[in-house]
Amino acid sequence: MRDEMDYPSAHAGLAVPVPPSLAATAILDEDVRAWFLERAGLAGEAGLGALVNSVLREHIRRSGEPLERTLRRVLREELRKVG
């Protein structure tokens, strides 16, 4: 069988390219973390990142507000609370 296979231009690796992602650390309040973990179910911590990404994408899609503007607005609101 091995003699029948001849793929001179074949490459090892993924058949479909995976888009790059950014590793980011986020500090979540315990209640927010618990909400996400509850919904991530059996996937636990491993499924947490995928769920957070899904929720954020949906929020961005629905809001229409550019992410930078959203971040600036939220930061201003939070700074007002502590200052």
pLDDT of residue 66: 80
Taking residue 27's Cβ as centre, other Cβ atoms within 10 Å add up to 6
Domain residue ranges in the chain:
29-83
- Contact partners, residue 63, CB within 8 Å, separation at least 6: 70
Q: What is the pLDDT of residue 23?
A: 75
Digits of tens for pLDDT over the chain (83 positions)?
566 767 677 666 656 666 777 777 888 899 988 888 888 876 566 678 888 888 888 888 777 878 888 888 888 988 898 87
Residues 49 and 47: their CA atoms lie apart, in Å, by: 6
Residue 63 is predicted with a pLDDT of 75
